[in-house]
Amino acid sequence: MDTEQSDTSPETNGAGDENALAYKSIRNVFLAEFPDLWDRIQAKYGPQYNLKTQIPGPYPLFEEILKPRVTELLQDGADEESLQHIFSFYEEMARSQDEEVVNLLWKSILEPLIYDKKLIAEAWKYMGEKTKDLARQIASRRGWEENLPATDPPRTHPIG
């Protein structure tokens, strides 16, 4: 068995798409996609982990590192390129066939965004269609439909 090949082969989600995100590789993809967040990872986890051999799991990385960065960017509104990159990654996650990847996006990123009416309004313009679909599902399940931007999705009940 050639072990080097398995170490360098891209992870797949079983759907045959080598570019699809899989939960078992999401931490490594996160680190590759967002090298600019390494200083935040070191500041947050350096005292608790030997970051040369241990990296926190996906939920801490997304909830405690990426989510605060996205919030800052949305509030500042200055770094369009970073926001487009991040939301493009979110769209890739939303399109994953791996349910755990979608759950990670749902719970760590989208629920907190939708809860905050101002943030979701700002984020909406960066979101892809699949990410917006997930946002609508979350809003519907949580009763937060009024938090979504008024122009999208169309209201299905009369305003009174």
pLDDT, tens digit, 9 for 90 and up, residues 65-114: 999 999 999 999 879 999 999 999 999 999 999 999 999 999 999 999 99
Contact 33, 89 (CB under 8 A): yes
Q: What is the pTM of this model?
A: 0.81
Per-residue confidence (pLDDT) for residue 95, from 0 to 100: 97
| The two structure tokens encoding residue 146 | 């009024």
Has residue 8 got a pLDDT over 70? no
Task: Tell me the C-alpha to C-alpha distance, in Å, between residue 74 and each of 41, 57, 82, 124.
Answer: 20, 25, 10, 10
Residues 6+ apart with CB under 8 A from 61: 27, 30, 41, 55
Distance CA 8, CA 16 (A): 17
Q: State phi, psi for 54 to the nearest 5 degrees.
A: -135, 135
Average pLDDT over residues 52-75: 96
Among residues of the chain, what percentage have pLDDT more than 70?
82
